[in-house]
A and B are shown apart, each in its own frame.
Chain A
Amino acid sequence: MLTFNLLVAAALAYVAFLFTIAFIAERRASLGKVAWLRGPLIYTLSLSIYCTAWTFYGAVGFAARSGLEYLTIYLGPTLVMLGWWWFLRKLVRIGRSQRITSIADLISSRFGKSTALGVIVTALCVVGVTPYIALQLQSLTLSFAVFADAGGSEWVAGDLNAVALYAAGGLAVFTILFGTRNLDANERHHGIVLAIAVEAVVKLAALMAVGIFVVWGIAGGVEQTLARIEASDIAHWEQSGGRWVGLTFVAAAAFLCLPRMFHVLVVENDNERHLATASWAFPTYVMLMSLFVVPIAVVGLDLLPEGSNPDLFVLTVPLNQGREGLATLSFLGGFSSATSMVIVATIALATMVSNHIVVPIWLRSRGQGAMMSGDVRAVVLTARRLSIIGVLTLGYVYYRLSGGGAALAAIGLISFVGVAQILPVMMGAIFWRGATRVGAAAGLTTGFAIWAWALFLPSFGEGAILSARVLAEGPWGIGWLRPSALFGFDALDPLLQAALWSMLLNTAVFVVGSLLSFPSPLERLQGAQFVNVFEHSAGAQTWAPNSAQAEDLLIVAQRIIGPTEAQAAFQRAARAQGKAGYLPDVTPEFVQTVERMLAGSVGAATAHAMVSQTLEGAAVSVEDLIAVADEAAQILEYSNKLEAKSAEQERTARALRDANQKLTALSIQKDAFLSQISHELRTPMTSIRSFSEILREGGTDVAAQQRYAGIIQDESIRLTRLLDDLLDLTVLENGQVVLNQQEGSLADLLDRAVDTSGLRSGGIKVIRRPADEAIALSTDLDRLGQVFINLVSNAQKYCDAENPELRIVVRQTPQGPVVDFIDNGSGVPEASQEVIFEKFSRLEDHARAGGAGLGLAICREVMLRLGGEIFYLPGQGGAAFRVVLPKSQAMAAQ
């Protein structure tokens, strides 16, 4: 017989294993090896915390009691995942662009970073989820009790309580250890995510193992199992349509709204693409989880004595068959379900409690605002740790108070309906720009109140909180306020009618409240940001007074995200603005960046409050803007202008940057040119001097004399040409050039240019289309010809193709006829395209090709004088220059 101590040892070993895994994951993450931790598979598995002990153990009980209805709990999330394109994709995008830390943060942030809404949602979640945590503790203790029973030792309540206490304590340690290691929500909880992924595998494997054992080991095959179903108490399809639809809806809503689900779905999401995988992988997971539920239920009902708790069939059936190993595995599966749920739910709740309740209160109590306070970082972490302990304590106390009885078992669905109250506001938040803070608060409060009255308070049982009389007759005898039959509808199932009324009224109040109230500008801006997240993933515009000090912001940021990171972020921002040091200008964008940075740690509302306080801008709050602009529409316009203005500024800044780069490049080029010009002058001079000395010394034969004299002459011409070019350019630049108007045709001019460059004799191959060239010109043909000659000889000099080709293409464009000179060489590198027309510029690689790099500069000046244009044409496969012929002088031939 499996001893109880052995089981405890197994559980402890398993816990040690989880700690190790989490620890290794954190270690690897800190070494930057996170890729495998952030894959779609781990993401999908982490979603499995949806399947808690309540579903692990309870689904079988559910099936034993009400047939196939348990499936709705899994079908709801399946539909949500299948519809990922509609909701989850948007939620995840918003979550990332706004750095949302929890569902309370989402709602608060959307409705103008409202602290009040954050508190409401947090309260709702704490009230709704705490009993759920208690339920997990209960299932843990019950499963221990099963083994204790089987081992022959009857347990007393004290032992069970001790188990619950140890479990809660152990979970608190684990959660604090791995859940509050770092503050920035972007640095997610690798250790925890991996641990729950492992637990996901364990619980699926455990349930499948029990299922396979039941179907093939006990029933003897699929057909026999089906036969057993036909013969059982739940043989017939008697499902109530209302509950089927209603529970599916509630499960779907809870899947989106449960704080722990929001945490793994949105906050821990690393990549939107993972949703695509999870959209089929997660439904597969829950399908497998529910596959063997009915067989286990049916076989359990058959095998076990009348009155056995069907909630524990997963454990008791294997035990009954003497399969202790299987029972232990099953126990670990249930253990996994309970612990993973509690860990993530606690983190999610603690984040909300610390960000939306503790830190704001603490800030307010300091009075002086964020500036005066000490190390906020430590405070936030402490707040979060205390919140974790608080949440778990609450769960334990709830478990003790409720007595761990059957009342608790019903809490699963009640809890679902509770958190589902957030759904209307959440949908409004991401799809309806007209949703307002007032409407959201009213709707949430209404839904919360109805749920508490009709479901939550009665769940404690008669006389616990509501007296039997109130339950039976309504408060003060008002019958239509009876919790189980609101407005006199007692035909419906109590759960269903409570869900129906709470959701309906919640939605109605939310919508009407939104329609009637008027949003603050910040709300409207945030609304636009959320609803249109796909159009512009930029942040909301915030008001940043100019008096704000970057230094103050830095101080605050350092306290929250730590000095190193804050300084790095500020330095980055400063550099992006073109400033040195750590203090960027306090632009609206920068304020937003800081706010988001802080939001990742303390939530949007708190971050906003801190930044506003720091900027001394609390006075220039949004309310003041209304006074100035009296219509929120104007604020929107303002934000648009701001956007346009910042875009304009950015353009200007870019233009300045470009100019600066060009100047730097030019000044380098200018230095280079001076030594270049020296080189160009001295090189011919060297030959001239040397050969003239040789000739003067005499003693050479006549042929040599002639040859040397020829060299001297050539080099003199080369020198003269260089001086001519320099002079020409100076004249052109000073505008002293006299243009000589002539008539002629483009074809002739090109002919002449090709001839003069000596291309006919070989070297580069010239491709032309004479038909296009029949264009009459009326301009200074000598000057235009000079440009063409330059371009053609450039191609000859610089084209590095094996079979060099130059295409001269004449095109008609809206600007008039243009002539493109395109060669098949390697072209001009992009970086150099900017400067080739500057005088003195010459590409390094071609330093030897002759000329001092004045040709293109002269071309540009000439075209400028003629009233045309010349520029480099990128993307033509080789070097390509386009000459736009002078407009007024160019006429079509016919």
Chain B
Amino acid sequence: MAQMPRQPLFLARSSYRQRRLRDAIRFLPITGIVLLMLPLLWPRGPDGPGNGQVLIYIFSAWSFLILLSFLLTRRLRNDDAEEGNEPKAEDG
């Protein structure tokens, strides 16, 4: 798998889907950071939401991220993961 300079410009539909799936997986941690840092914008102290509510929010966000990761990685194809190099020629 050393040099594979000629990446095709256009991909079959399924390969295209796989590429976007990998993009989605790349975005997962960013989504996670945004969701999990969000409570920092909320007001603190007795005026703001109680810890109970924050707790519920965080565990919901957490579950959502886990579910997302589960759904995405499940559809990841084995061969593509093996081949797995960063796509150089982005398809359009």
Q: How far is the CB of B88 from the nearest CB of chain A, in Å?
A: 9
Q: Does A483 contact B (CB under 8 A)?
A: no
User: B66 and A277: CB pair below 8 A?
Assistant: no
Q: Does A155 contact B (CB under 8 A)?
A: no
User: B33 and A239: CB pair below 8 A?
Assistant: no
Which one, A75, A83, A276, A537, contacts B81 given CB within 8 A? A276
Spell out A's residues near B (CB within 8 Å): 67-68, 71, 75, 78-86, 89, 226, 229-230, 234-239, 241, 244-245, 248, 272-273, 276-277, 279-280, 283-284, 287, 291, 294, 534-538, 643
Which one, A83, A284, A294, contacts B29 given CB within 8 A? A83
User: B62 and A283: CB pair below 8 A?
Assistant: yes
User: B52 and A229: CB pair below 8 A?
Assistant: yes
How many Å lie between the Cα of A439 and that of B54 in the bound state?
43
**4 nearest CB pairs, A to B:** A83-B29, A534-B85, A280-B69, A276-B73
**A89-B84, A229-B51, A237-B48 known; A244+B40 contact, CB < 8 A:** yes
How many Å lie between the Cα of A226 and that of B58 in the bound state?
14
User: A283 and B29: CB pair below 8 A?
Assistant: no
Chain A residues in 8 Å Cβ range of B29: 79-80, 82-83, 86
Chain A residues in 8 Å Cβ range of B2: 535-536, 538, 643
How many Å lie between the Cα of A80 and that of B32 in the bound state?
10
User: B28 and A82: CB pair below 8 A?
Assistant: yes
User: B1 and A536: CB pair below 8 A?
Assistant: yes
Please give me the residue from chain A that is nearest to B25 by CB atom.
A85
User: B70 and A280: CB pair below 8 A?
Assistant: yes
Q: Within residues 37 to 72 of chain B, which ones have a CB less than 8 A from any CB in chain A?
A: 37, 39-40, 42, 44-46, 48-55, 58-59, 62-63, 65-67, 69-70
Chain B residues in 8 Å Cβ range of A78: 32, 62, 65
Chain B residues in 8 Å Cβ range of A85: 22, 25-26, 28
Please give me the residue from chain A that is nearest to B56 by CB atom.
A226
Spell out B's residues near A (CB within 8 Å): 1-4, 22, 25-26, 28-29, 31-33, 36-37, 39-40, 42, 44-46, 48-55, 58-59, 62-63, 65-67, 69-70, 73, 76, 78, 81-82, 84-86
Q: How far is the CB of A122 from the nearest CB of chain B, in Å?
A: 30
User: A79 and B49: CB pair below 8 A?
Assistant: no
Q: How far is the CB of A613 from the nearest CB of chain B, in Å?
A: 30
Which one, A67, A71, A79, A226, contacts B32 given CB within 8 A? A79
Chain B residues in 8 Å Cβ range of A291: 59
Interface of B is mostly: helix
User: B51 and A236: CB pair below 8 A?
Assistant: yes
Chain A residues in 8 Å Cβ range of B85: 534-535
How many Å lie between the Cα of A68 and that of B61 in the bound state?
15
How many Å lie between the Cα of A287 and that of B86 in the bound state?
31
Please give me the residue from chain B that is nearest to A277 by CB atom.
B73
User: B51 and A68: CB pair below 8 A?
Assistant: yes
User: B66 and A287: CB pair below 8 A?
Assistant: yes
Chain B residues in 8 Å Cβ range of A84: 25
Chain B residues in 8 Å Cβ range of A245: 37, 40
Chain B residues in 8 Å Cβ range of A75: 36, 62
Q: How far is the CB of B11 from the nearest CB of chain A, in Å?
A: 18
Q: How far is the CB of A5 from the nearest CB of chain B, in Å?
A: 40
**A78-B65, A279-B69 known; A67+B1 contact, CB < 8 A:** no
User: A272 and B81: CB pair below 8 A?
Assistant: yes
How many Å lie between the Cα of A734 and that of B68 in the bound state?
74
How many Å lie between the Cα of A279 and that of B69 in the bound state?
7
Residue of B48, B51, B78 with highest tally of chain A CB at under 10 A: B51
User: A79 and B36: CB pair below 8 A?
Assistant: yes
16 additional contacts (CB under 8 A) given A230-B52, A237-B53, A287-B66? A67-B51, A71-B58, A79-B33, A82-B31, A82-B65, A84-B25, A86-B26, A235-B51, A241-B40, A277-B73, A279-B69, A279-B73, A280-B67, A287-B62, A291-B59, A294-B55
**A277-B73, A287-B66 known; A534+B86 contact, CB < 8 A:** yes
User: B81 and A273: CB pair below 8 A?
Assistant: yes
20 examples of A-B residue contacts, CB within 8 angstroms: A78-B62, A79-B33, A82-B31, A83-B32, A85-B22, A229-B52, A230-B52, A236-B44, A236-B46, A236-B48, A237-B42, A237-B48, A239-B40, A244-B40, A272-B84, A280-B73, A283-B66, A287-B63, A294-B51, A535-B85
How many Å lie between the Cα of A688 and that of B14 in the bound state?
69
Chain A residues in 8 Å Cβ range of B45: 236-238
How many Å lie between the Cα of A241 and that of B54 in the bound state?
14
Chain A residues in 8 Å Cβ range of B53: 237
Residue of B44, B45, B48, B86 with highest tally of chain A CB at under 10 A: B44
User: B50 and A535: CB pair below 8 A?
Assistant: no
**A248-B36, A287-B63 known; A238+B44 contact, CB < 8 A:** yes
Chain B residues in 8 Å Cβ range of A538: 2
